[in-house]
């Protein structure tokens, strides 16, 4: 894919002069206009554009909120109320930012599961996938610190629980906890540190996103069949074909986003966070934001504190090793009938963990959490590697164009013979 160069030629004398010194116009042209994309990609491939929009929205609304927010333990809650009640359109910006975090994670979870389903982590896209996992980790850190900033009851006690958990890490745990606290417990120095890091991390995410897009443009985009581009008939230029699809999907996503902002802006929040932080009163049930719940359930499923911390971080880190854990030569789950069943079991298991994370850690909730946690790791560490050796995939189309036209490819070929080219593309 990287052999496709830009055909952009500036028309004006100034354009030619500028292009000869800083060829940014040809870079944009080759990356977002003439860039070849598989002609069979579906709407699941639009979530990259949706995520780019949401990142820009979060940064812009966050910068605006930072102009009025006061990172002080005695003033933070009141400054948020000031934004909501006194600042012109402050309520809108704050609801855009708060609900935008949830919509950001909705889009990223769809993006991740799409990548898993269609094998977008397999060679030669390993670095692309790892950069995506890094972005996901940075997003979680940013969201956690942002949740603390309103300094309500759930903000304060959520910070207390998570920072206490970090102390379980051997050797460096107490040091990390002390650096985050800035004292002997969660307090004003903690809030200052979280605000500073929360403001910084989105720009780090933007930097890694640039690397992510760069890593995508080297091998090119994957597609629902997993078959690489083999001829000019297999691809279409990014603009207008993919551009129109991205704009339409983003507009639909914005409508859903707007529905939450204007009709149910507090639906994804917690009522206790509208009560100012009080170190003397512990909420009956401390619950993180919904996008943390599966990992919170994994954390609580392990009786040992250190074991829970290791399991929680391992549940995210294991995603980075998918390119090597998956031993199948076929990328797309569409052609893997046995693995397809396990994929949907994984989706159900993740949703179950999310539901369990919102429940109190008692009785049968703990037992089911332990079973669901065990399956989560068994899926990646046992089932995924073994299926590559025992599964018999369906015949692949010989080309992307063939899959679009609905012709049957691979007739008469032995199993796996028409899957070999995928390791090259």
- pLDDT tens digits for range 34-82: 999 999 999 999 999 999 999 999 999 999 999 999 999 999 999 999 9
Residue 138 lies in a domain: yes
Mean pLDDT of the chain: 93
Q: For position 3, what pLDDT does the model report?
A: 47
Sign of CA dihedral 67, 68, 70, 76: negative
Share of the chain above pLDDT 90, in %: 89
Mean pLDDT of 283-296: 93
Q: For position 223, what pLDDT does the model report?
A: 97
Q: What is the tens place of the pLDDT at every residue in 176-222?
A: 999 999 989 999 999 999 999 999 999 999 999 999 999 999 999 99
Q: Which residues pair with 172 in a beta bridge?
A: none
Q: What string of DSSP letters covers 83-139? A: HHHTSTTHHHHHHHHHHHHHHHHHHHHHHHHHHHHTTTTSTT-HHHHHHHHHHHHHH
| Strand (E) or helix (H) holding 37 | strand 36-38
Q: Find the domain containing 358 and state its range.
A: 29-407
Residue 84 lies in a domain: yes
Angle in degrees, CA 248, 254, 259, rounded to 5: 135
CA–CA gap between residue 265 and residue 268 (Å, rounded): 8
Angle in degrees, CA 289, 139, 56, rounded to 5: 110
Residue 234 lies in a domain: yes
Q: For position 406, what pLDDT does the model report?
A: 81
Question: In the predicted model, is pLDDT for residue 4 greater than 80?
Answer: no
Q: What is the tens place of the pLDDT at every residue in 225-272?
A: 999 999 999 999 999 999 999 999 999 999 999 999 999 999 999 999
CA–CA gap between residue 213 and residue 202 (Å, rounded): 16
CA–CA gap between residue 65 and residue 67 (Å, rounded): 5
Is 168 in a helix, a strand, or coil? Answer: coil
With bands split at pLDDT 50, 70 and 90, how would you rate the model's confidence at 1? Answer: very low
Is 274 in a helix, a strand, or coil? Answer: helix
* Paired tokens of 293: 């719940």
Compute the chain's Rg from CA coordinates.
24
- Is residue 293 a contact partner of residue 268, using CB atoms and an 8 Å limit? no
Residue 10 lies in a domain: no
Residue 227 lies in a domain: yes
Q: How many domains does the chain have?
A: 1
Sign of CA dihedral 119, 122, 125, 127: positive
Question: In the predicted model, is pLDDT for residue 292 greater than 70?
Answer: yes
Question: In the predicted model, is pLDDT for residue 2 greater than 50?
Answer: no
| Strand (E) or helix (H) holding 225 | none
CATH number at residue 122: 1.20.810.10
Residue 416 lies in a domain: no
The answer to whether the bond into 169 is cis (omega within 30° of 0) is: no
Tell if the pTM clears 0.85, that is, is over it: yes
Side-chain-facing half-sphere of 218: CA atoms under 13 Å:
13
How far the first Cα of the chain sits from its last, in Å, is 9
Among 121-130, 276-285, 378-387, 404-413, the range scoring the smallest mean pLDDT is 404-413
Residue 12 lies in a domain: no
* Paired tokens of 125: 């896209």
With bands split at pLDDT 50, 70 and 90, how would you rate the model's confidence at 284? Answer: confident
Share of the chain above pLDDT 70, in %: 94
Residue 99 lies in a domain: yes
């Amino acid at each position: 894919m990287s052999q496709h160069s830009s055909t952009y030629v500036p028309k004006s004398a100034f354009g030619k002069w500028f292009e000869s010194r800083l060829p940014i116009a040809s870079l944009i042209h080759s990356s977002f206009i003439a860039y070849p994309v598989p002609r069979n990609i579906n709407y699941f491939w639009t979530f990259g554009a949706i995520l780019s929009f949401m990142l820009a929205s979060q940064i812009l609304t966050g910068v605006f909120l930072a102009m009025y927010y006061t990172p002080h333990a005695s003033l933070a809650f009141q400054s948020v109320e000031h934004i909501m009640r006194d600042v012109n359109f402050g309520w809108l910006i704050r609801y855009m930012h708060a609900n935008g975090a949830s919509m950001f994670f909705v889009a990223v979870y769809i993006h991740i599961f799409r990548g898993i389903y269609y094998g977008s982590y397999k060679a030669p896209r390993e670095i692309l996938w790892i950069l995506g996992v890094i972005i996901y980790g940075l997003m979680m850190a940013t969201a956690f610190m942002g949740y603390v900033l309103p300094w309500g009851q759930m903000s304060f006690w959520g910070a207390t629980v998570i920072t206490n958990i970090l102390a379980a890490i051997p050797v460096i745990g107490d040091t990390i906890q002390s650096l985050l606290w800035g004292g002997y417990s969660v307090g004003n120095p903690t809030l200052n540190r979280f605000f500073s890091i929360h403001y910084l991390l989105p720009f780090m995410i933007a930097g890694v996103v640039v690397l992510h897009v760069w890593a995508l443009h080297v091998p090119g985009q994957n597609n629902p069949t997993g078959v690489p581009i083999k001829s000019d008939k297999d691809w279409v230029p990014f603009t207008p074909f993919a551009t129109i699809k991205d704009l339409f999907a983003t507009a639909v996503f914005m409508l859903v986003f707007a529905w939450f902002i204007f009709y149910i802006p507090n639906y994804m929040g917690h009522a206790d966070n509208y009560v100012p932080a009080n170190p003397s009163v512990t909420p009956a049930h401390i619950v993180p934001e919904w996008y943390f719940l599966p990992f919170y359930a994994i954390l609580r499923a392990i009786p040992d504190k250190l074991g829970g911390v290791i399991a929680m971080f391992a549940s995210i880190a294991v995603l980075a090793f998918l390119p090597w854990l998956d031993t199948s030569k076929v990328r797309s789950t569409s052609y893997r009938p046995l693995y397809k069943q396990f994929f949907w079991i994984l989706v159900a298991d993740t949703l179950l963990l999310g539901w369990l994370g919102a429940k109190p850690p008692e009785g049968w909730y703990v037992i089911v959490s332990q079973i669901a946690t065990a399956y989560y790791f068994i899926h990646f560490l046992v089932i995924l590697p073994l299926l590559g050796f025992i599964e018999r995939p369906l015949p692949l189309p010989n080309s992307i164009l063939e899959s679009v036209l609905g012709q049957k490819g691979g007739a008469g070929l032995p199993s796996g013979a028409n899957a070999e080219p995928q390791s090259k593309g």
